[in-house]
Amino acid sequence: MAGPRHSWQCVLELNSARQILKGSSDKFGAAIGRAADLRIGTEFIHNEHIDITSSSSERIREVAEFGVTYRITNSWSAGVMSLRQPIELPTGFGPRPSMSFFLYNQDGTQGIARPFLDGTPAVGQRGAAIAEAPADMPKYHVENAWDAETNAPSHNFVYDFDVFRFCVRDDWQQVLNHSSDGTVLSGSLEDLIEAFSAGCSIKLGIAGLCDSLTNPGEDSIDHEVFVQGGSAYYYMEQKLFMIGTHPVVRIRPAVPMRYSSDAWDFGWLMIRTDGHTVYRRCDPHTLHFTDHVSQHGIRWFVR
C-alpha cells in the first residue's frame, strides 16, 4: 500500500558532526527564500537527551515545526519554533508554562529562548551568565548563556543529534512584491485579492523587520523574516489590503543567528499593502505589550 501523498522534501541532511550527508545549504536557502515551510527532523536516545536517570535507551525521532524562518544577506538561513510549549516526554508538559523558542541554523547550531508565562517573580540580572551544559549529557555543548534566573533566559548550544533533516514544503506562489512605501515592484494587488477571495492561505516575507534590534553604532544586516498570515481584510474602495500574522519571534540578524541579552523578542504583526506595519511587541522579561509602527517592503505569497 502506498504511503500518504504529501508535498514535503528533505533538501539538506546533516550527520551528528553536522557534516552534509545529502542536499546542500544552497538548496535549503533557496527554498527558504521562496517562503517554504520548514520542519526539521532529528533523532536521539531517551536516556541521553530526555531523562539521563532512565534505563530506557529507546531511540526517538522528532520532527518539529519552525513557524518563523530567516534569510540573512541572501546567504544564510535559520528557523525558529514559534508555537512550542515545552513537552516533558512522554507524559505531558514541563513544570512551568513557557515558550520554547528553539532556533536552528542551517549548519545545525542551535539556541533557545524561554519566556516564562506564569508570572512567577524573577530575581536574576540581565547579561552574560555561566554557560553550563546539563550534567552527564556529553552530547550537549553550550556556547554561551544569557539572562539566567530572569523571566526570559536564553543560551546557544549544539546538541549532537544523530541526524538533522531539513524538510521543506516549497509550494508558495509569490503574487506581490512592494517597497516600504507600497510601490509595486512585481506582481499585482489584484492577484493577491483574487487568491485571498478564493480562500488561499497567505504568507509574508518582511524585509528589515529586526532592524531595531541592531546594536547602537552598528550597521543593520539585510534580512527577510517569513511568517504566515491569519485573518485578512480588504477595503474595496481604498484598494487597501491588511492581514494579522501568526506569532513572530524577532532575533538580531547575524551569521549564524544567536540569542543574547536584549537581542530578541516576540509578538504579532498587522501588515498592509502600503508597507504600514504595526508590531505588537511582548517584552519577554515583563510580558508587557507595546505597539510599534514602521514601514517595510513585503513579499506576499499564496497557496
Cβ–Cβ < 8 Å for 81, 260: no
All three cell numbers of 63: 520532527
Hey, which bits of 170-222 come out as E strands? 173-178, 184-187, 202-207
Distance CA 263, CA 213 (A): 6
Indicate whether 92 pLDDT > 90: yes
Q: Are strands 276-282 and 289-295 parallel, antiparallel or unpaired?
A: antiparallel
Q: Give tens-digit pLDDT for 145-193.
A: 999 999 999 999 999 999 999 999 999 999 999 999 999 999 999 999 9
Number of CB atoms found within 10 A of residue 66's CB: 24
- Average pLDDT value for the chain: 97
Indicate whether 88 pLDDT > 90: yes
Distance CA 253, CA 160 (A): 24
Indicate whether 3 pLDDT > 80: no
* pLDDT mean over 35-54: 96
* pLDDT mean over 211-231: 96
Number of CB atoms found within 10 A of residue 256's CB: 18
What are phi and psi for residue 210, nearest 5 degrees? -100, 15
Written as one string, the DSSP assignment of 31-51 is: HHHTT-EEEEEEEEEHHHHT-
Give the chain's count of helices (H) and strands (E).
3, 24
Q: pTM value?
A: 0.97
pLDDT computed for residue 135 by the predictor: 84
127: which DSSP letter?
S
Hey, which bits of 67-218 come out as E strands? 68-72, 76-80, 87-88, 92-93, 101-105, 110-113, 128-129, 140-146, 154-159, 163-169, 173-178, 184-187, 202-207
Strand, helix or coil for residue 192: helix
Name 62's Cβ contacts closer than 8 Å, sequence gap at least 6: 41, 42, 43, 44
Q: Give tens-digit pLDDT for 112-149.
A: 999 999 999 998 999 999 998 888 899 999 999 999 99
Q: 19: closest CA among 139, 119, 170, 161?
A: 161
Which helix (H) or strand (E) is 26 found in, with range? helix 25-33
Provide the CB-side half-sphere exposure for 86 (13 A, CA).
16
Q: Give tens-digit pLDDT for 20-42.
A: 999 999 999 999 999 999 999 99
Q: 51: closest CA among 97, 102, 88, 93?
A: 88
pLDDT computed for residue 4 by the predictor: 80
Q: 246: closest CA among 265, 210, 270?
A: 270
Q: Give tens-digit pLDDT for 64-81.
A: 999 999 999 999 999 999
pLDDT computed for residue 1 by the predictor: 55
Q: Give tens-digit pLDDT for 194-220.
A: 999 999 999 999 999 999 999 999 999
Tracing cell 551528528 back to the chain, one arrives at: 16
Report in angstroms the alpha-carbon separations of 30 from 16, 33, 264. 24, 5, 25
Which helix (H) or strand (E) is 291 found in, with range? strand 289-295
The answer to whether the Cα torsion of 47, 150, 112, 128 is positive or negative is: negative
